Amino acid sequence: MTIVVTGGAGFIGSNFVLDWLGALAEPVVVVDKLTYAGNLGNIAEFADDPRLRFEHCDICDGAAMARVFAAHAPRAVVHFAAETHVDRSIDDAGAFLRTNVEGTFRLLDAALGYWRGLSPVAASEFRFLHVSTDEVYGTLGPDGAPFTETHPHRPNSPYSATKAAADHLVRAWFQTYGLPVLTTNCSNNYGPRQFPEKLIPLMILNALAGKALPLYGDGCNVRDWIYVADHCAGVRRVLETGDPGEVYNLGGGQEKTNIAVVRAVCARLDEVRPRPDGKTYADQLVFVKDRPGHDRRYAIDVSKAERTLDWKPAHTFEAGIATTVDWYLANGAWVASVKTGAYRNWIARQYAGIEP
């Protein structure tokens, strides 16, 4: 028995793989294209473990995906692979359409062909788990009820639109072909190994480098935050006990404004790595022009997962932030390895002329 994990060298995918191999004997096949955000160093801990197998390929290559299924005969697919950074989707929506929509289609198509060739027992046990985002639901007002699994898809960015399209494809492959699929919609993840274009690691590294900590608009956009290990535990529970065709929201129950998140990062850095001048890192905060289509608030209702899966997040935001900041401080070699020329060029272009 084995499972296939797409995007298993990325942020959430690698944390899932590490957690899986740390707790279970079942082998994992990591499928990853190794784009700028994919890094084999993320799973190097198990590089010599025979349970870890790696396939360097693109989910948009249907023939390659069919070969992966034929070679490894998985009992399940956990589909993390995606372009995920909203700012990049505004800059280049085409890459998001290709990976998130076409890639999900090609993967579903390959999975369907494989599933149809399984024995009746194996076919009944097979699962295709699609990992999505709360951003597909759109935006909420300050007093709006959290998103449930039945909330309509109303995406507002190119990224969320492509993830919404992928959600619909997955649902259609269940309704039309009977492929046993599961979908999870998670809130904002944070934790170790997150590529430093995202808010929390960007703030950590900019703070340490004495650079500006740029916040869009007034900094009061609200997100629900989930520590990545809690998300991975939720995905495992969905894979184990979720009902085919169902959607499950996975969130941390920790709504925070962006400015509160950044201040929490600064407070932890003040505690464990104080500035030489004795000032707070929060002095480096700078407000910048808001990005287009910036959703004001996300919040998701996780009562279905708690009720039907016996799952709930284990980490408070405060504990998760402390662990995350400490991980980046302790893993300077990893940070240096991901800050390539392409990364530096993106940061320079995206935040040009911003000073603390």
Q: Which domains, from first to last, does the chain contain?
A: 3-190+228-251+295-314 (3.40.50.720)
Q: What is the mean pLDDT of residues 253-262?
A: 98
Q: Tell me: pLDDT of 342 over 90.
A: no
What is the predicted pLDDT for the residue at 341? 67
Sheet holding 222-227, edge to edge: 188-190, 222-227, 255-257
- Establish whether 134 is a catalytic residue: yes
| Catalytic residue chosen out of the listed positions 135, 167, 255, 295 | 135
d(CA 138, CA 294): 10
48 is catalytic: no
* Span 209-214, average pLDDT: 96
Active site residue 49: no
Strands 52-56 and 28-32: what pairing? parallel
Q: List the one residue out of 131, 246, 104 whose CA is nearest residue 185.
A: 131
Q: Grade residue 345 by pLDDT with cuts at 50, 70 and 90.
A: confident
The catalytic residue among 32, 58, 83, 134 is 134
Rounded mean pLDDT, 307-322: 97
Q: Which of 159, 227, 281, 298 is catalytic?
A: 159
Question: What CA–CA distance (Å, rounded) separates 264 from 132?
Answer: 27
Reply yes or no on whether the pLDDT at 153 is more than 90.
yes
Model-level pTM greater than 0.95? yes
Instruction: Please tell me the predicted confidence (pLDDT) of residue 334.
Output: 94
Can you list the positions of beta strands (E) in 109-165? 127-133
